[in-house]
Amino acid sequence: MDYDPTLYDDYEYVYDNSTPHEEAVVTHNATCFKETSCITLLVINVLIFLLGICGNGVVIWIAGCKMKTTVNTTWYLSLAISDFIFCTFLPFNITHIVTKDWKFGLVMCKFSSFVMFLNMFSSIFLLVIISVDRCVSVMCPVWAQNHRTIRKASVAVVLAWLVSIVLSLPAMFFRDIAPFLGKTICFNKYTAHEHSHKTIAVSRFIGGFVIPLFIILICYSIIMVRLRSSRMNRSSKPFKVMTALIGTFVLCWLPYHVFVLLEQNPHYHNENIRIGLTVGTSVATANSFLNPVLYVFMGGDFKQKFKSSVLSKIENAIGEDGRTTSRYLSRSSSMGGRASTHI
């Protein structure tokens, strides 16, 4: 059984590996409001929901309606949509935290878990695509100037979402509901396959974290080397936005993966792992509202932020990377004796 803090925080599980169905001895607590940890978890989820819906909604509005459609706005719009979709499903978990009862049926039990991992995979894959795009733009500016189009960016985004959907399907297959102490629980049921839990945990860590992060680090290493030896070394500020996004994703999702992997060892099924999974899942969830915050703070000098609207700062953060890259590509094209066409 895979522990989900948002669903099991009101139970104390004692795992018994000698039984074929992983039965648990539990102590049931009647209400969330009698526990400080449960109230804290509830407050965190409510704040993430409110900030995530508002922040990503604003980014979607700006990138999708106010700004001219470019390759860069396509990337950031897709990231915001991924986070927004995830945040719309948080009320189901919030309701469950309060009532300690899953009232939404089997379909929503499966789909809410599916959406969480869809957000994880789509976010990291989009960050990989953006990193590769930046790398190609810096290493091959003339080629990028003539072949970096909105249509190709849209195709890349669609492919990223399709792969993310496929990799997120196990979250639906192994999710189930069951009556328990007069209420209903929504849980991950891996008992039908001996090594399915470990296989899925490891594959998510490798495919949804290690490999994408390795590609991103390679791209950024190439970019940094190039920037140090080019005229663009004074214009590297826009890359701070992407660096912040990637760093935030790593910090938010790494604790979750670590504790899920530790959970595979039966000797680690203790209170520390339970607390670690609770914290890790909450931190991973927080990633869904942090991106709009980063757009605001990375859109310009912090002091100047208060002299203009938040909306203009987000627009600045999303758009300035394209403008700076465009200037760099134009200079490179002029050096090569070729006229620029489009980005």
Q: What are the Cα distances from residue 182, in Å, to 28, 102, 179, 244, 285? A: 10, 11, 6, 46, 29
DSSP per-residue codes, 141-188: HHHHHHH--HHHHHHHHHHHHHHHHHHHTHHHHTEEEEEETTEEEEEE
The structural domain count of the chain equals: 1
**DSSP type of residue 125:** H
Q: Is residue 5, in this structure, part of any structural domain at all?
A: no
Range of the domain at 286: 53-88+103-175+193-335
Instruction: Give the pLDDT confidence score for residue 215 in this predicted structure.
Output: 95
Instruction: Give the pLDDT confidence score for residue 241 in this predicted structure.
Output: 75
- Give the domain CATH number at 285: 1.20.1070.10
Mean pLDDT is lowest, of 78-92, 283-297, 306-320, 325-339, for 325-339
Q: Is residue 77, in this structure, part of any structural domain at all?
A: yes
Mean pLDDT is lowest, of 8-12, 55-59, 245-249, 256-260, for 8-12
Render pLDDT for 101-131 as a digit per residue (tens, 0 to 9): 999 999 999 999 999 999 999 999 999 999 9
**Most confidently modeled range among 22-36, 185-199, 325-339:** 185-199
Q: Is residue 183, in this structure, part of any structural domain at all?
A: no
Q: What is the residue-averaged pLDDT of the chain? A: 78
Which residues, other chains included, contact 133 with Cβ-Cβ below 8 Å and sequence gap of 6+? 71, 75, 148, 153
Mean pLDDT is lowest, of 1-10, 99-108, 155-164, 175-184, for 1-10
Render pLDDT for 265-294 as a digit per residue (tens, 0 to 9): 777 667 778 888 888 888 999 999 888 877
Q: Is residue 216, in this structure, part of any structural domain at all?
A: yes
**Averaged over 40-52, what is the pLDDT?**
92
**Averaged over 160-178, what is the pLDDT?**
93
Containing H/E element for 254? helix 239-263
**Averaged over 210-218, what is the pLDDT?**
94
Q: Is residue 182, in this structure, part of any structural domain at all?
A: no
Q: Is residue 254, in this structure, part of any structural domain at all?
A: yes
Q: Is residue 20, in this structure, part of any structural domain at all?
A: no
Q: Is residue 34, in this structure, part of any structural domain at all?
A: no
Render pLDDT for 233-254 as a digit per residue (tens, 0 to 9): 544 555 777 788 888 999 999 9
